[in-house]
Amino acid sequence: MPEPSSAVRSAPAGVIHDIGYQRYDGPRLGRRHVFGALYLHGLRTIFGLGRSAKAKIFPWLVIGIVTLVAVALAAVRSQLGEPVATYAQFADAMSWLVLFFVAVAAPELVSRDLRSGVLPLYFSRPLPRADYAIAKLLALVTGLWLLLGGPQLIMFLGAAFTTKDGLKGVWNELLDLLPGLLYAGLWAVVFASVGLLVASLTGKRAFAAGGVVAVFLMTTPIVGVLSILPSRTANELAGLASPTTLVQGVGVWSLGDLLVPDNQGGGLPIGGFGPVYALVAVLLVAGATTLLLARYRKVAS
């Protein structure tokens, strides 16, 4: 072992050496600003901003696909003079991409922090545990809504610039867009709340991603089984068994022709159980959020 230097040997015990650290005298912004910073950081994480090029590949690939579909729909409409798909139908068609987007984004938001052991730093005052979970959830909801709402806006602009009815046509198009954006918000809230809860259960991102996909896909066969039973009531309530068909059921009930135009038929058969679908959707989001908060109350600090 090397001998200590003469300066160190001669220093009396208990002496504090000045090595250049300075006391922070700036403003202390408090809980609200910490929450906002965590939310913005989560939103940037979802889209790979401020991270390596590898982290940007998947989210921007998904964004590119949904944007390309929206541009194609807008181009076809400009030629045909009528919409190929409504804004709500676009959200339904892109739901499978939203699922895989959640399966990648949710583990990036929460599983990395669990695995790296940085949660004690986050849970230091003034950030309570509930704020951490809510900030992450809001970031994921916002990211999913932008994923669906941005392409819908492209479809709207395409229709607005090619309408032959002037301002009246633009206004009517806007009235169709707003329910579509709300429907995209429903997809975002349901998928984010369930996906983030599943991802928060493990610090391993691969397991978290697989768990998110499994929760959504493994419930789909249950819907299929219930929909072929000889009971009409069971057929109409079958969509409650899966988050995906649950959202579609709420859309069929609340949007009507905007989701399933009369000239197209089809759609998820829900009969008169539309309010039941809406209630179950609210309970699902509330339950998943409550469990998420409970999960972080038990995380060691």
- What's the pLDDT tens digit per position in 99-124? 999 999 999 999 888 888 777 777 77
Of 150-159, 161-170, 213-222, the poorest mean pLDDT is in 161-170
CA distance 274 to 149: 24
What integer best gives the mean pLDDT of the chain? 86
pLDDT at 245 over 50: yes
| pTM (two decimals) | 0.86
Q: Check: CB of residue 98 under 8 Å from CB of residue 187.
A: yes
**Quick check: helix, strand or coil at residue 230?**
coil
User: Residue 286 CB: number of other CB atoms within 10 A?
Assistant: 11
CA distance 94 to 147: 10
CA distance 189 to 143: 10
pLDDT band (50, 70, 90) for residue 12: low
Q: At what angle do helices 129-162 and 31-46 cross, to 10 degrees?
A: 50
CA distance 27 to 38: 18
Torsion region of 163: left, alpha or beta (phi above 0 gives left; psi -120 to 50 gives alpha): beta
**pLDDT confidence of residue 77:** 87
CA distance 134 to 110: 12
Q: Which of 102-106, 162-166, 266-270 has the highest mean pLDDT?
A: 102-106
Give the residue carrying structure tokens 């009517």. 172
- Per-residue pLDDT, averaged over 47-59, amounts to 87
**pLDDT confidence of residue 125:** 67
